[in-house]
Structure 1
């Protein structure tokens, strides 16, 4: 399993990751979500030993990544599909990795077949690969050592619809066989289709964590007031997360009684109060990370 405890990263006065804590269990796919600049990639790099943390810890099966004697046999990592030698062929990339990890060379052919790189593609230099082909090669490289854990940052980037469907099946099969997957992606529909658990990060902090069913069940309530700004101010001041809909209503992450009491205390007249329509993971993401994307991107 992956265990992250109070993981923190500071760059001077800027805190990129602030006390992040979560765990990924065997047999599950965990979707790691957040807007640009939220700290997702930094967190994943710290888990993989590429960026030293300012505080906290991250372990895989109880051991920090840097202390693993042969990490490729324990953890398969894909953080950047372009981080492959452009002058080597796809088969050479996998062959050298297999030699380094002590993996049977026959595993190279098996992985090329699994990710859909045929004999012609395997002989082509990586510099001539499309982004989708590099992603497929990166996934093959991550799985080459038959690891128990996969850590993947935007693995569907550059894949066509067929490729995304294929990747979903590969990850689901890996988890169903007892593997642990930590998956970061901006393709929310795909994460919703494959993930068992979700960790949502915003401003360097975890803003929600739990099973997919638990988090998506709390879709909140839709509320409209005679004075919309007054109602929004009252809810926000009371600590209730809200987001505006296209028609000017609010979606509040609280039960109807709480919203009604807050409105009454503020003297805000309500025109509508009912369960919100289920917008799925996309609505949950927008609600939890509202107002964070631009602020983080310009720091």
Structure 2
């Protein structure tokens, strides 16, 4: 469980994060979205105890991150794959982390296999890794302590399409086994494919949050009749507002039962009655964050 309550961060007169609250529950992947400069990375750094908040608080497994006795056993973190020591090999990086987390050394080999880093790559120095290889190593390090939660900032950067598909399966499997995932990414279609819940921020404030299917569902009902004019008259008589849609249909801001009753009362034969067109995540993202991109250099 990850809980964020009224997190706020100010740098002088500039507010990077403003009263952000949300919850990530076990068994779910939460997509944390927003344009550059929206405050995503700053929020994640506050959750992980790297940036002190100006106000509010965040907990992981019921405690502030800094109060966890062995944090890596509770939450795996990947905020910057490029922050790994370039002089160590991939295997040395995980072996050292295993000692710090007090987990069996056998986990090193297991995780290298899990993230598909072969022995030849594990023997190379991290400074010679591609960004995609560093992301895989970072995910291995995040999973090393068998945590119950993952906090990942842009983990798909540098991965090829096959790698992105692999990562999606890895995160989905982690959540399906009862884990909690907080995932920030600019790859909206990948977030849409794997997330259960969405939290979207702009200019440091939450602009939308909730279950993905609810946020992306279309409003009202799409209805089409044998006699379009009679349908419009029937809806107007029932006090239901409608707007034109493609194919001669109407979008009605009402429940299916109300639309059906209005048509039945007027004796109108319906050819179609179904939920309105669902929005894609990209469409929702653009509509909610339009004009919220911060100037270059503003904290993320």
TM-score, L = length of structure 1: 0.80
| Equivalent in the alignment of 1:288 | 288
Residues 89 and 255 from structure 1, CA distance in 2 versus in 1: closer, same or farther, beyond 3 angstroms? Answer: farther
Residues 1:19 and 2:47 are matched in the alignment? no
| Equivalent in the alignment of 1:35 | 35
Shift of 1:296: 4.4
Residues 1:210 and 2:227 are matched in the alignment? no
| Equivalent in the alignment of 1:196 | 196
| Equivalent in the alignment of 1:155 | 155
Residues 218 and 54 from structure 1, CA distance in 2 versus in 1: closer, same or farther, beyond 3 angstroms? Answer: farther
Q: Within 5 Å, give how 1:90-239 maps onto structure 2.
A: 90-218=90-218
| Equivalent in the alignment of 1:45 | 45
Residues 1:83 and 2:88 are matched in the alignment? no
CA deviation profile, 1:80-109 (whole Å, cap 9, x unmatched): 000100000000000000001101000000
| Equivalent in the alignment of 2:269 | none
- Please say if residues 219 and 253 of structure 2, whose CA atoms lie closer than 8 Å, have aligned partners that are also in contact: no
CA RMSD of aligned residues (A): 1.8
Residues 283 and 101 from structure 1, CA distance in 2 versus in 1: closer, same or farther, beyond 3 angstroms? Answer: same
- Please say if residues 219 and 284 of structure 1, whose CA atoms lie closer than 8 Å, have aligned partners that are also in contact: no
- Please say if residues 218 and 279 of structure 2, whose CA atoms lie closer than 8 Å, have aligned partners that are also in contact: no
Residues 284 and 84 from structure 1, CA distance in 2 versus in 1: closer, same or farther, beyond 3 angstroms? Answer: same
| Equivalent in the alignment of 1:239 | none
Residues 298 and 99 from structure 1, CA distance in 2 versus in 1: closer, same or farther, beyond 3 angstroms? Answer: closer
What runs of 5+ residues in structure 1 fail to find an aligned partner? 222-253, 258-274
- Please say if residues 217 and 276 of structure 2, whose CA atoms lie closer than 8 Å, have aligned partners that are also in contact: no
Shift of 1:297: 3.7
Residues 206 and 256 from structure 1, CA distance in 2 versus in 1: closer, same or farther, beyond 3 angstroms? Answer: same
TM-score, L = length of structure 2: 0.80
| Equivalent in the alignment of 2:56 | 56
CA distance in 2, matches of 1:279, 1:22: 23
CA distance in 1, matches of 2:93, 2:217: 44
- Please say if residues 38 and 296 of structure 1, whose CA atoms lie closer than 8 Å, have aligned partners that are also in contact: no
Shift of 1:154: 0.1
Residues 13 and 276 from structure 1, CA distance in 2 versus in 1: closer, same or farther, beyond 3 angstroms? Answer: farther
User: Helix, strand or coil: the match of 1:44?
Assistant: helix
What runs of 5+ residues in structure 2 fail to find an aligned partner? 222-250, 255-274
Residues 219 and 168 from structure 1, CA distance in 2 versus in 1: closer, same or farther, beyond 3 angstroms? Answer: farther
| Equivalent in the alignment of 1:67 | 67
Shift of 1:177: 0.2
- Please say if residues 2 and 24 of structure 1, whose CA atoms lie closer than 8 Å, have aligned partners that are also in contact: yes
CA distance in 1, matches of 2:110, 2:297: 44
CA distance in 1, matches of 2:276, 2:86: 50
Q: Within 5 Å, give how 1:244-255 maps onto structure 2.
A: none
User: Helix, strand or coil: the match of 2:83?
Assistant: coil
State the structure with more CA Rg. Answer: 2
Aligned length, in residue pairs? 249
Moved over 2 A (4+): 218-221, 254-257, 275-279, 295-299
Shift of 1:277: 5.5
CA deviation profile, 1:250-280 (whole Å, cap 9, x unmatched): xxxx9869xxxxxxxxxxxxxxxxx985440
